[in-house]
A and B are shown apart, each in its own frame.
Chain A
Amino acid sequence: MPSNEHTIKAFDAEIGQLRGLIAQMGGLAEQAIGAAMEALRLHDLEGARRIIDGDKRIDALEIEVEQLAVRIIALRAPLADDLREVVAALKIAGVVERIGDYAKNIAKRVPTIESHGEIEPLSVLPAMSVLAVQMVHDALDAFAARDAAAAVEVCARDRQVDDFYNSLFRVLVTHMMENPKTIGQVAQLLFIAKNLERVGDHATNVAEMVYFAATGTHMAERDRGPMSYSTPTA
């Protein structure tokens, strides 16, 4: 939070509203990822459909954020940290909308994976999703608190998600070689893993924007952690 309030109270109210919308979007997106993983685990086709429908709500919120941000820029002419925050909110909304899309994407794949018990790596995916969702959650918390340090910390964690993905990749590829008849389903799982990895990347993006909004400078290269994923050669 800023050191003190704006002289124009309505300005504070609008900034607060903007933050509220971002938090709401973030909450929905986190929930959607979690629910998608749950639907995947339980093979809950009905739940998957709800998630696909629920993404419309996130899209609507994104439009709302855009409108509010444009209005604040037009009417309040924000400067310095206010300006950075509005711009960051605008971009974060786009990123969170993408995260929502990944949840939808995962939910769409639920019907294609039937015999979940057969595929052993499936038990690793929820752990990976918890990690990615936690990153999103922490990045958005950092945004709410304008906490640059927390944002740096979120970026550092992206490596863990990448590591998860890399090991899953190897495991799934091995599985496909051993059980050719499951190649179709496992390929779907590979895509889901890839989606989760992308969620982690987007959380990193959010964190970078939070850092910019909070400090006015872009995150230095060394703070971003190693360049996210590298497709394993094996």
Chain B
Amino acid sequence: MSETLVAQLPVGPAEPAERAPTDWRTQSMQRRIRQRYAAERRFRLLGMAAVVLSAGFLAVLLVTMVYNGASGFLRTEIALPVDFANAGLTVDPARLKGPGADLALAGAGVENATKTAAIAAFGPQGSDLLSDGAWLSVRAAIKRDPAIMRGRSIVWVPASDAIDIAAKRTGSPENEAIVAHFKQRNAIATGFNWPFLTASDSNDSTRAGIWGAFKGSLFTMIVTLLIAFPIGVLSALYLEEYAPRNRWTDLIEVSINNLAAVPSIIFGLLGLAVFLGTFGLPRSAPIVGGLTLALMTMPVIVIAGRNAIKGVPPSIRDAALGIGASPIQVVFHHVLPLALPGILTGTIIGMARALGETAPLLMIGMRAFISAPPAGLSDPSTVLPVQIFLWSDQIDRGFVEKTSAAIIVLLVFLLAMNGIAIYLRNKFETRW
């Protein structure tokens, strides 16, 4: 029975006889195949070359930055013998305890005493070997141990720019000689430059630090994130989920897309006119910087957010609606959690751009010389990229390495920020 069944199976219509079978082995066919493989290889090589090239650029950038900037994290100190007993310091050691210490030392003439000690120790040009801020180290030493005021003591003080550079790399021949001379007596040492991380801007490169700008950037970013993220995400949600499709929403969409492409300096002008001019917010403050950068970042978050929301499968929405979830439940229980990774990616990009932005902040006065870290959102401050920009303008040779060091700090800041965002994104990422 089954055999008959097989035998009776209908056969398909026979191939038209006149159709010649394709010969895949002819010369031209083989050549075509070879060309195809060659094209594939070429394309792969091109792609690899592009990757290698960009990796190379990145490597060059990093190496240069680290090479130039690493020494910015170091500073040279010189052992300065000070004869406190005969330095004519007019201060009562008893007052050096407690909160009145700074006040007591203010008029004590520590600066002069330091200069005198330098001249006494290193000759007539001695004070030039030391940083302008050397006396601060002396003062700190006194505060640490007022007992030293009764006799002679050796205090390690920061060296001047020229000596610092001569010690770390190559300076002028006479400075090199001085360094060699100090080295023989173990009176010179190079150590980690803590003040670079804890101090703020200064005219003296040996005293200049990044902390003020870092804190300014941090405050600014916090303001930017707090304003741009919720507003951006809510706008994206509204536009995708609720807004009717009509001419007005089209107009808004086009406007947002264009806003993302507007040169950043224009946001600076806007911030100047609106936040400083109209609302009278304080100049140079992180809050204004944050608001301005938020304006700039928002369109990026809105666009990324809308794309991420569009990427949520409609079937999930249907599923939730189908069992009677209200639109807002659909959005907050399903759409937003699924879109969050994409939204976070957009936010990373926007925030990274905001962190590196200089131009709009120049417009709202964040380029001022600020020698103290901001204590709050409305204190005058500067930010890392502006600080880098300011330092790169300085004539003083010591600022060259500080500029590179500041760039390294900025990059570390950026990587840390992105790292957090990537961690969050992976945490929320769910496959469906």
Question: Which residue numbers of A lie inside 8 Å of B, CB to CB?
Answer: 10, 13-14, 67-68, 71
For the complex formed, measure the closest distance between the CB of A69 and the CB atoms of chain B, giving whole angstroms: 12
User: What residue of chain B has the Cβ atom nearest to residue A71's Cβ?
Assistant: B5
Question: Across the interface, do A13 and B10 meet the contact criterion of CB distance under 8 Å?
Answer: yes
Give the CA-CA distance A67 to B2 in the complex, in Å.
10
Give the CA-CA distance A13 to B10 in the complex, in Å.
9
Chain B, 1-24, contact with A by CB distance < 8 Å: what is the 0/1 string? 100110010100000000000000
Give the CA-CA distance A13 to B5 in the complex, in Å.
16
Q: What B residues does A10 contact at CB under 8 A?
A: 10
- Chain A to chain B contacts (Cβ below 8 Å), 6 pairs: A10-B10, A13-B10, A14-B10, A67-B5, A67-B8, A71-B5
User: What residue of chain B has the Cβ atom nearest to residue A13's Cβ?
Assistant: B10
Q: A67-B8, A68-B8 are in contact. List 6 more A-B contacts (CB 8 A).
A: A13-B10, A67-B1, A67-B4, A67-B5, A71-B5, A71-B8
For the complex formed, measure the closest distance between the CB of B295 and the CB atoms of chain A, giving whole angstroms: 61
Q: What B residues does A71 contact at CB under 8 A?
A: 5, 8
Chain B, 280-303, contact with A by CB distance < 8 Å: what is the 0/1 string? 000000000000000000000000
For the complex formed, measure the closest distance between the CB of B366 and the CB atoms of chain A, giving whole angstroms: 74
User: What residue of chain B has the Cβ atom nearest to residue A70's Cβ?
Assistant: B5
For the complex formed, measure the closest distance between the CB of A7 and the CB atoms of chain B, giving whole angstroms: 16
User: What residue of chain A has the Cβ atom nearest to residue B4's Cβ?
Assistant: A67
Q: What A residues does B4 contact at CB under 8 A?
A: 67
For the complex formed, measure the closest distance between the CB of A67 and the CB atoms of chain B, giving whole angstroms: 6
Q: What A residues does B8 contact at CB under 8 A?
A: 67-68, 71
Chain B, 185-217, contact with A by CB distance < 8 Å: what is the 0/1 string? 000000000000000000000000000000000
Give the CA-CA distance A148 to B10 in the complex, in Å.
31
User: What residue of chain A has the Cβ atom nearest to residue B11's Cβ?
Assistant: A10
For the complex formed, measure the closest distance between the CB of B134 and the CB atoms of chain A, giving whole angstroms: 97
Give the CA-CA distance A68 to B9 in the complex, in Å.
10
Give the CA-CA distance A14 to B4 in the complex, in Å.
15
Give the CA-CA distance A14 to B9 in the complex, in Å.
10
The majority secondary structure among interface residues of chain B is helix
User: What residue of chain A has the Cβ atom nearest to residue B10's Cβ?
Assistant: A10
Q: Which of B1-60 contact A (CB under 8 A)?
A: 1, 4-5, 8, 10
Question: Which residue numbers of B lie inside 8 Å of A, CB to CB?
Answer: 1, 4-5, 8, 10
Q: What B residues does A14 contact at CB under 8 A?
A: 10
The majority secondary structure among interface residues of chain A is helix
For the complex formed, measure the closest distance between the CB of B39 and the CB atoms of chain A, giving whole angstroms: 42
Give the CA-CA distance A68 to B4 in the complex, in Å.
10
Q: What A residues does B10 contact at CB under 8 A?
A: 10, 13-14
Give the CA-CA distance A10 to B4 in the complex, in Å.
18
Q: What B residues does A67 contact at CB under 8 A?
A: 1, 4-5, 8
User: What residue of chain B has the Cβ atom nearest to residue A9's Cβ?
Assistant: B13
Give the CA-CA distance A71 to B1 in the complex, in Å.
11
User: What residue of chain B has the Cβ atom nearest to residue A75's Cβ?
Assistant: B9
For the complex formed, measure the closest distance between the CB of A61 and the CB atoms of chain B, giving whole angstroms: 13
User: What residue of chain B has the Cβ atom nearest to residue A14's Cβ?
Assistant: B10
Give the CA-CA distance A67 to B7 in the complex, in Å.
12
Give the CA-CA distance A164 to B10 in the complex, in Å.
47
For the complex formed, measure the closest distance between the CB of A5 and the CB atoms of chain B, giving whole angstroms: 15
Give the CA-CA distance A67 to B6 in the complex, in Å.
11
Give the CA-CA distance A201 to B4 in the complex, in Å.
33
Q: What B residues does A13 contact at CB under 8 A?
A: 10
Q: What A residues does B5 contact at CB under 8 A?
A: 67, 71
Q: What B residues does A68 contact at CB under 8 A?
A: 8
User: What residue of chain A has the Cβ atom nearest to residue B13's Cβ?
Assistant: A9
Give the CA-CA distance A13 to B13 in the complex, in Å.
12
For the complex formed, measure the closest distance between the CB of A75 and the CB atoms of chain B, giving whole angstroms: 9
For the complex formed, measure the closest distance between the CB of B164 and the CB atoms of chain A, giving whole angstroms: 90
Give the CA-CA distance A10 to B8 in the complex, in Å.
13
Give the CA-CA distance A14 to B8 in the complex, in Å.
11
Give the CA-CA distance A48 to B8 in the complex, in Å.
33
For the complex formed, measure the closest distance between the CB of B11 and the CB atoms of chain A, giving whole angstroms: 10
Give the CA-CA distance A67 to B8 in the complex, in Å.
10
Q: What A residues does B1 contact at CB under 8 A?
A: 67
For the complex formed, measure the closest distance between the CB of A25 and the CB atoms of chain B, giving whole angstroms: 17
For the complex formed, measure the closest distance between the CB of B262 and the CB atoms of chain A, giving whole angstroms: 58
Give the CA-CA distance A67 to B1 in the complex, in Å.
8
Give the CA-CA distance A173 to B1 in the complex, in Å.
49
Closest 7 pairs (CB-CB, A-B): A10-B10, A67-B4, A71-B5, A13-B10, A67-B5, A14-B10, A67-B8
For the complex formed, measure the closest distance between the CB of B314 and the CB atoms of chain A, giving whole angstroms: 32
Give the CA-CA distance A14 to B11 in the complex, in Å.
12
A14, A68, A71: most-surrounded residue (chain B CB, <10 A)? A71
User: What residue of chain B has the Cβ atom nearest to residue A68's Cβ?
Assistant: B8
For the complex formed, measure the closest distance between the CB of B6 and the CB atoms of chain A, giving whole angstroms: 11
Give the CA-CA distance A203 to B5 in the complex, in Å.
30
For the complex formed, measure the closest distance between the CB of B256 and the CB atoms of chain A, giving whole angstroms: 50
Give the CA-CA distance A68 to B8 in the complex, in Å.
9
User: What residue of chain B has the Cβ atom nearest to residue A10's Cβ?
Assistant: B10
For the complex formed, measure the closest distance between the CB of A64 and the CB atoms of chain B, giving whole angstroms: 8
Give the CA-CA distance A89 to B5 in the complex, in Å.
18
For the complex formed, measure the closest distance between the CB of B8 and the CB atoms of chain A, giving whole angstroms: 7
For the complex formed, measure the closest distance between the CB of A133 and the CB atoms of chain B, giving whole angstroms: 30
Give the CA-CA distance A13 to B9 in the complex, in Å.
12
For the complex formed, measure the closest distance between the CB of A65 and the CB atoms of chain B, giving whole angstroms: 12
For the complex formed, measure the closest distance between the CB of A74 and the CB atoms of chain B, giving whole angstroms: 9
For the complex formed, measure the closest distance between the CB of B267 and the CB atoms of chain A, giving whole angstroms: 63
For the complex formed, measure the closest distance between the CB of B274 and the CB atoms of chain A, giving whole angstroms: 68
For the complex formed, measure the closest distance between the CB of A149 and the CB atoms of chain B, giving whole angstroms: 33
User: What residue of chain B has the Cβ atom nearest to residue A74's Cβ?
Assistant: B5
User: What residue of chain A has the Cβ atom nearest to residue B9's Cβ?
Assistant: A71
User: What residue of chain B has the Cβ atom nearest to residue A66's Cβ?
Assistant: B1
Give the CA-CA distance A68 to B1 in the complex, in Å.
11
For the complex formed, measure the closest distance between the CB of B153 and the CB atoms of chain A, giving whole angstroms: 106
Give the CA-CA distance A13 to B8 in the complex, in Å.
13
For the complex formed, measure the closest distance between the CB of A160 and the CB atoms of chain B, giving whole angstroms: 40
For the complex formed, measure the closest distance between the CB of A151 and the CB atoms of chain B, giving whole angstroms: 29
Give the CA-CA distance A177 to B10 in the complex, in Å.
61
Give the CA-CA distance A67 to B5 in the complex, in Å.
7
